């Protein structure tokens, strides 16, 4: 118990604390909210509408906007509040998406006048509701056909002041014709749109044969179709999965034209799932990053003629290659994810196309049966009245006499019942006939309708009692809808194997570079522009260059290591550095094994079958391996057992054409060999042949290819027959090379 003081009196507050399990709290408080969002807000029903759409369209129907003139949108919004107690902006935004002006639907339901924004632009704002005007589009007649004939259930609105339909009796499967996206609690729905004519054909085929195969349905309903057009990359297996399960995704890509005279690309249609703002934002990023140097400028040129995004190209740029890059790097190619989640009898169900169409057929059969039953009851009522009128024909004078001689008005109907043996309904009808109509001609004309009515009643009775006839009736309506409202496909279907694949190299900016690898394992990629500014290379103390070559940024580079392994990389993966930088420590960059160091580097544009790598080992053996032995189909980063590890490696030399190599042993003996004399082996791990015969405890310590100017008479070390023990290096050559090393 708690007390609080209020002026001079004491108020006692009894605080009651009730323990409640969290599961009970969720069940009592949260679950009703969840169900309300799922059933009454976010997930479309079998008629293809969410409650907000249905309430808006039914309000417009009641306002006479199916046949009347347009009215201000604000008027419609205000009237809709009688069914949908939401803010005016929420209702207006719902209307905007349904309008012809917004271009979100293949078949808009609202004929609009004024600015309603565009589906393909998130920033193009719609005008205020007081400025725009709307009415229902003619296709809405198919949504409401039979609604005044008890085709669907009518329920009270939120304050019980008027009735509204639970569903709209659509004469075509609108659930697959109008795109719908909704996020509920714990579930979502994302339904793409399909072509109306194709959906009608597929539904008719299913009506005729409920056991139709999915492949035949796919022949009729070829692929999704969007109001924004674009191109759909056809993947039959993925689409079949969507058609079967209601889940999956497909790819859309933009359409473009090339203006050769202006040297610009005009993008005229984009994927439904993106917007021009997203595309332009990504283009800006790519141009700033230097990844789209082919584009000099771009601009939004949307006008009254429709969508257009123009890209100005640099002279010499290939438009198809530019677009191929843009498809990969921007939302000009985008995926649409499908989740066909639909409410059926207030229960969410994920269904494939055949299942959705089957449920719609069940729904439509009920609507048609109720509509026909309504017509049958009206005709039976009319026939009943006319049969009573027929009895009057036998003695018109008697009927007049009964009415004239009856003293009280309330006795007219009972007296007619007694006088002619008719029931009260018939007597009321006769009593209401005008005096001028109590003539033989009028009565005979009305009685002539009896035979036609009886025929119509018989036909309706047969139709209502025969499901096959009802299906034929629905098929006839679908054919009429297709003929009247069907349109050619907007979204073009392209086969995946018809798309020209652009090599990854097309996305890489190419330029000349100089590559440097040092003894300590530092690697530099330097642009020639940078070299012009500073030719002085920076190295760590006692470090020096072991490999240096010219290359292009698109090349591949191979690093041979002392652990008989090769690491492969793309030069584009390395940042260009200045000469004054140390560069990348290659062991860390390419994740070498512990203690592993590079001994040779080679950049390649292609693997030439006439080029080789020569390996020279400490044990005096040499071997030549074709460079093609290191070519891989997959993008492998590391090759183990790249060459023999039977003896430590001294050097690896790349051979494009035969060259002289000077081998030097630890006891200062030298042997000059030509690479043409070294045996070629196709197996990478081949140990090779003895080239330099070594004395006990001796080994090769170096292999030189740059010998001109370093040795006074290199030819004195050449031997005509191999293997050979070499020649003792002259004192002058030793001194000359020592001086060279000091310098």
* pLDDT tens readout for residues 265-285: 999 999 999 999 999 999 999
Can you give the CATH number for the domain in which 425 is found?
A: 1.10.268.10
> How much is the average pLDDT of 192-213?
96
| pLDDT of res. 721 | 85
Terminal Cα-to-Cα distance of the chain (whole angstroms): 97
For residue 321, what is the domain's CATH number?
3.30.1360.40
User: How far is Cα 475 from Cα 469, in angstroms, rounded to an integer?
Assistant: 10
Q: Mutual orientation of helices 412-420 and 424-431 as an angle, nearest 10°?
A: 120
CATH of the domain at 77: 3.90.199.10
Residue 122: pLDDT over 70: yes
- Residue 186: per-residue pLDDT: 76
Contacts of 92 (CB under 8 A, 6+ apart): 73, 77, 126, 129
Q: What's the order of all strands across the beta sheet hosting 660-665?
A: 700-704, 660-665, 669-674, 727-728
The single residue of 131, 158, 511, 528 carrying the catalytic annotation is: 131
Asked whether residue 603 falls in the same domain as residue 687, the answer is: yes
Indicate whether 528 and 677 sit together in one domain.
Answer: yes
Q: What is the pLDDT averaged over residues 239-256?
A: 95
Q: Cβ distance 516 to 577 under 8 Å?
A: no
339 falls within a domain = no
Contacts of 110 (CB under 8 A, 6+ apart): 60, 95, 98, 99, 100, 134, 135, 136, 137
Task: Please give the full DSSP string across 253-285, using - where no structure is assigned.
Answer: E-EEEEETTTTEEEEEE--TT--HHHHHHHHHH
pLDDT at 39 over 90: no
Does the pLDDT at position 5 exceed 60? no
Closest by alpha carbon to 530, among 511, 547, 517, 548?
511
CATH number of the domain where residue 551 is located: 2.120.10.90
Question: Quick check: 740 pLDDT over 60?
Answer: no
| Chain centroid, CA 606 distance in Å | 36
Q: Quote the longest CA-to-CA distance of the chain.
A: 159
Asked whether residue 242 is domain-assigned, the answer is: no
pLDDT at position 129 is: 95
Of 312, 331, 350, the residue at which a domain comes to its end is 331
pLDDT at 7: 45
For 646-687, give the DSSP string. Answer: SS-EEEEEEESS--EEEEEETTSEEEEEEGGGSPB-SSTT--
The residue with greater pLDDT, 159 or 731, is: 159
Q: Is the pLDDT of residue 504 over 70?
A: no
| Residues 401 and 265 reside in one and the same domain | no
Confidence of residue 604 (pLDDT cuts 50, 70, 90): very high
Which residue range is the domain that position 315 belongs to? 255-331
Read off the pLDDT band of 741 (50, 70, 90): very low
pLDDT of residue 319: 92
Whether 494 is covered by a domain: the verdict is: no
pLDDT digits (tens, 9 = 90+) for 9-19: 445 555 566 77
Confidence of residue 743 (pLDDT cuts 50, 70, 90): very low
Residue 214 belongs to some domain of the structure: no
Q: Which residues, in sequence order, are CB contacts of 455 under 8 Å at separation 6+? A: none
Same domain, 582 and 692: yes
* In the chain, % of residues over pLDDT 70: 95
pLDDT of residue 496: 82
Average pLDDT over residues 143-169: 94
378, part of any domain: yes
Instruction: Please say which residue of 143, 170, 197 terminates a domain.
Output: 170
Mean of pLDDT over the chain:
89
- Based on the domain organization, do 365 and 479 belong to the same domain? yes
What is the rounded distance in angstroms from the CA atom of residue 73 to the CA atom of residue 127?
Answer: 10
Tens digits of per-residue pLDDT, 67-97? Answer: 989 999 999 999 999 998 888 999 999 999 9
Structural domain contains residue 30: no
Which residue, among 230, 257, 322, has the nearest Cα to 283 in the 3D structure? 322
Cβ neighbours of residue 445 under 8 Å, at least 6 residues apart? none
In a shared domain, residues 617 and 692: yes
Closest CA to 719 of 651, 648, 669: 669
Q: Token pair of 377, please?
A: 């009851």
For 637-679, write each residue's pLDDT tens digit.
899 999 999 999 999 999 999 999 999 999 989 999 999 999 9
Q: Select from 148, 170, 192 the last residue of a domain.
A: 170
Report if residue 302 sits inside a domain. Answer: yes
Is residue 464 located within the same domain as residue 544? no
Q: Who wins on pLDDT, 720 or 354? A: 354
Per-residue pLDDT at 500: 73
Domain tally, the chain? 4
Same domain, 89 and 142: yes
Q: What is the pLDDT of residue 579?
A: 85
Q: Is the pLDDT of residue 4 over 60?
A: no
Coil/strand/helix, residue 613:
strand
Residues 437-477: tens digit of each pLDDT: 777 787 788 888 888 899 999 999 999 989 999 999 999 99
Percent of the chain beyond pLDDT 90? 62
**Average pLDDT for 488-494:** 95
Judge whether 131 counts as a catalytic residue: yes
- Tens of pLDDT along 321-367? 899 999 999 999 999 999 999 999 888 999 999 999 999 999 999 99
pLDDT (0 to 100) of residue 505: 62
133 pLDDT band, cuts 50/70/90, is very high
Query: Is 178 within the bounds of a domain?
Result: no
Q: Where are the alpha helices (DSSP H) in 336-395?
A: 353-393
> Which tokens is 124 given?
């193009």
Shared domain for 545 and 636, answered yes or no, is yes
Q: Are residues 296 and 436 in the same domain?
A: no
Run of H or E including 630: none
Q: Are 465 and 519 in a shared domain? A: no
Question: How far apart, in Å, are the Cα atoms of 93 and each of 98, 119, 128, 190, 360?
Answer: 9, 12, 10, 19, 28
**pLDDT tier at 249, thresholds 50, 70, 90:** very high
CA–CA distance, 426 with 394 (Å, rounded to integer): 15
Residues 605 and 710 in one domain: yes
Query: What pLDDT, on the 0 to 100 scale, is given for residue 112?
Result: 95
Residues 291, 295: Cα–Cα separation, whole Å: 10
Number of Cβ within 10 Å of residue 346's Cβ equals: 12
């Amino acid at each position: 118990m708690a007390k609080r003081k209020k002026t001079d009196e004491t108020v006692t507050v009894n605080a009651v604390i009730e323990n409640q399990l969290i599961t009970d709290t969720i069940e009592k408080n949260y679950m009703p909210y969840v169900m309300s969002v799922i059933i009454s807000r976010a997930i479309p029903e079998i008629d293809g509408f969410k409650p907000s759409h249905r309430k808006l369209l039914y309000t417009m129907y009641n306002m006479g906007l199916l046949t009347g003139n347009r009215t201000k949108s604000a008027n419609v919004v205000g009237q809709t509040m009688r069914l949908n107690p939401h803010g005016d902006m929420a209702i207006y935004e719902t209307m905007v998406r349904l309008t012809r002006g917004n271009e979100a639907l293949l078949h808009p339901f609202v004929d609009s006048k004024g600015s309603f924004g565009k589906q393909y632009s998130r920033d193009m704002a719609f005008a205020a509701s007081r400025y725009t005007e709307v009415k229902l589009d003619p296709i809405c007649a198919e949504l409401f056909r039979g609604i005044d004939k008890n085709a669907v259930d009518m329920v009270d609105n939120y304050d019980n002041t008027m009735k509204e339909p639970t569903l709209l009796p659509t004469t075509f499967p609108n659930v697959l014709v109008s795109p719908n996206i909704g996020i509920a609690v714990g579930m979502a729905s994302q339904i793409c749109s399909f072509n109306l004519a194709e959906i009608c054909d597929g539904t008719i085929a299913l009506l005729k044969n409920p056991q139709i195969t999915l492949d035949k349905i796919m022949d009729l309903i070829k692929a999704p179709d969007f109001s924004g057009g674009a191109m759909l990359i056809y993947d039959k297996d993925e689409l079949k999965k969507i058609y079967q399960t209601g889940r999956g995704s497909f790819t859309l890509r933009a359409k473009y034209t090339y203006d050769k005279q202006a040297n610009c690309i005009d993008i005229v249609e984009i994927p439904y799932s993106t917007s021009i703002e997203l595309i332009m934002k990504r283009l800006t990023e790519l141009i700033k990053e230097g990844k789209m140097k082919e584009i000099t400028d771009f601009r939004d040129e949307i006008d009254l003629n429709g969508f257009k995004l123009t890209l100005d190209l640099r002279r010499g740029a290939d438009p198809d290659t530019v677009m191929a890059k843009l498809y990969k790097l921007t939302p000009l190619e985008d995926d649409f994810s499908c989740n066909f989640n639909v409410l059926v009898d207030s229960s969410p169900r994920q269904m494939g196309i055949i299942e959705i169409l089957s449920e719609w057929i069940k729904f439509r059969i009920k609507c048609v049966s109720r509509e026909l039953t309504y017509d049958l009851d009206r005709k039976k009522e009319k026939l009943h009245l006319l049969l009573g009128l027929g009895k009057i024909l036998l003695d018109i004078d008697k009927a007049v006499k009964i009415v004239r001689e009856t003293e009280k008005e309330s006795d007219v109907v009972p007296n007619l019942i007694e006088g002619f043996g008719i029931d009260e309904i018939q007597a009321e009808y006769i009593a209401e006939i005008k005096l001028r109509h109590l003539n033989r001609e009028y009565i005979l004309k009305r009685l002539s309708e009896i035979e036609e009515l009886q025929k119509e009643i018989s036909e309706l009775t047969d139709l209502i009692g025969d499901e096959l006839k009802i299906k034929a009736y629905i098929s006839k309506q679908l054919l009429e809808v297709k003929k009247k409202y069907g349109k050619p496909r907007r979204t073009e279907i392209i086969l995946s194997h018809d798309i020209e694949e652009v090599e990854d190299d097309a996305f890489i900016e190419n330029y000349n570079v100089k590559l440097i690898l040092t003894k300590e394992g530092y690697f530099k990629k330097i642009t020639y522009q940078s070299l012009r500014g500073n030719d002085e290379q920076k190295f760590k103390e006692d470090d020096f260059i072991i490999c240096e070559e010219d290359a292009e940024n698109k090349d591949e580079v191979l690093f041979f290591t002392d652990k008989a392994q090769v690491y492969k990389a793309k030069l584009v993966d390395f940042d260009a550095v200045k000469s004054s930088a140390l560069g990348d420590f290659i062991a860390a960059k390419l994740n070498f094994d512990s203690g592993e160091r590079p001994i040779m580097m080679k950049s390649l544009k292609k693997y030439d079958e006439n080029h080789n790598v020569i390996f020279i080992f400490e044990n005096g053996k040499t071997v030549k391996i074709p460079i093609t032995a290191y070519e891989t189909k997959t993008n492998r980063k590391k090759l183990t057992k790249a060459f023999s590890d039977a003896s430590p490696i001294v050097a690896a030399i790349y051979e494009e054409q035969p060259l002289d190599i000077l081998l030097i042993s630890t006891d200062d003996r030298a042997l000059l060999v030509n690479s043409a004399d070294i045996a070629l082996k196709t197996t990478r791990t081949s140990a090779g042949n003895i080239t330099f015969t070594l004395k006990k405890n001796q080994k090769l310590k170096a292999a030189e290819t740059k010998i001109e100017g370093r040795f006074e008479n290199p030819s004195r070390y050449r031997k005509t027959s191999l293997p050979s023990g070499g020649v003792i290096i002259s004192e002058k050559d030793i001194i000359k090379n020592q001086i060279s090393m000091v310098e």
